[in-house]
């Protein structure tokens, strides 16, 4: 199993072109992705600029990113934060990235989901064929036959997958989220991929899931829409 690293996460989140530019997000219905993504770990820094960013701006972003030091002070912002924002003037996203312990297992009461109709009652955004197109494995807690909490592949490559998590409002606070995330990680490992989990510093519920599962931070993500 490949270890979680900033470069692995970058290549899991995005489809990258020959020059290492972001072409799109790596999901069934891709979006263009952020204008700039910087992922800093304790031994490695990885970054990419979106392919449509002006060449001069992209080159300066590359130059600045090369100067970013490795760090395990996860809540410390990038040293060139102000310059990135001056160049792109977009909305910033920032938060930790976690890896799962080797002992992550499948808790009871969680089932694999292969049919989007089991998701659509509480999560109506799911479209037919989305699971097969790249969201699998999907692990869920079912109530009355329908998923009330589900973890799925928000992004997936041949070697790793990034968790996506949804819990219906009426069913939050029951510990379901941690159960489905743990089960998803085990299911992803069974496919030969490395499971990854990341969130924003502003998402207290998601951070709480990471703490409950004793996930270990390996990097921090900093992106700007531009």
Cβ neighbours for 54, distance < 8 A, ≥ 6 positions apart: none
Say whether both 117 and 210 belong to one domain: yes
Q: Which of 75, 100, 125 is the last residue of a domain?
A: 100
Say whether both 159 and 187 belong to one domain: yes
Number of domains in the chain: 2
Q: Which of 68, 100, 132 is the last residue of a domain?
A: 100
Cβ neighbours for 125, distance < 8 A, ≥ 6 positions apart: none
Say whether both 162 and 190 belong to one domain: yes
For residue 60, the enclosing domain spans 6-100
Say whether both 13 and 89 belong to one domain: yes
Write the CATH number for 151.
Answer: 3.40.630.30
What residue ranges of the chain have pLDDT lower than 70?
104-106
**pLDDT the model gives residue 1:** 76
- The encoded tokens of residue 160 equal 């790793």
**pLDDT the model gives residue 29:** 86
Q: Is the dihedral of CA 145, 146, 152, 155 positive or negative?
A: positive
| Confidence (pTM) | 0.94
Q: Which of 70, 100, 130 is the last residue of a domain?
A: 100
**pLDDT the model gives residue 194:** 97
**pLDDT the model gives residue 105:** 63
Say whether both 27 and 93 belong to one domain: yes
Say whether both 134 and 181 belong to one domain: yes
Say whether both 95 and 22 belong to one domain: yes
Per-residue model confidence as pLDDT tens digits over 1-39? 799 999 999 999 999 998 999 999 999 889 999 999 999
Say whether both 116 and 92 belong to one domain: no
CA 58/CA 43 separation, integer angstroms? 24
CA 168/CA 151 separation, integer angstroms? 12
Q: Report the SS3 class of residue 195.
A: strand
**pLDDT the model gives residue 104:** 60
CA 66/CA 139 separation, integer angstroms? 39
Say whether both 36 and 116 belong to one domain: no
């Amino acid at each position: 199993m490949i270890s979680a690293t900033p470069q692995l996460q970058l290549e899991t989140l995005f489809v990258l072109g020959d020059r290492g530019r972001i072409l799109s997000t790596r999901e069934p219905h891709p979006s263009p992705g952020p204008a700039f993504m910087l992922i800093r770990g304790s031994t490695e820094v990885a970054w990419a600029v979106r392919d449509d960013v002006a060449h001069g701006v992209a080159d300066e972003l590359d130059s600045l990113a090369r100067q970013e030091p490795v760090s395990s002070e996860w809540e410390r912002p990038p040293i060139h934060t102000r310059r990135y924002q001056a160049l792109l003037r977009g909305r910033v996203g920032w938060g930790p990235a976690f890896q799962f312990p080797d002992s992550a297992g499948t808790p009871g009461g969680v089932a694999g989901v292969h049919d989007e109709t089991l998701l659509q009652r509480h999560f109506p955004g799911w479209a037919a064929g989305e699971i097969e197109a790249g969201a699998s494995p999907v692990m869920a807690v079912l109530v009355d036959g329908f998923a009330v909490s589900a973890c799925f592949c928000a992004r997936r490559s041949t070697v790793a997958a990034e968790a996506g998590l949804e819990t219906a409002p009426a069913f939050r606070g029951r510990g379901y989220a941690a159960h489905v995330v743990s089960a998803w990680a085990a299911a992803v490992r069974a496919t030969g991929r490395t499971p990854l989990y990341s969130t924003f510093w502003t998402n207290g519920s998601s951070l709480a899931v990471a703490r409950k599962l004793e996930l270990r931070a390996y990097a921090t993500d900093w992106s700007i829409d531009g």
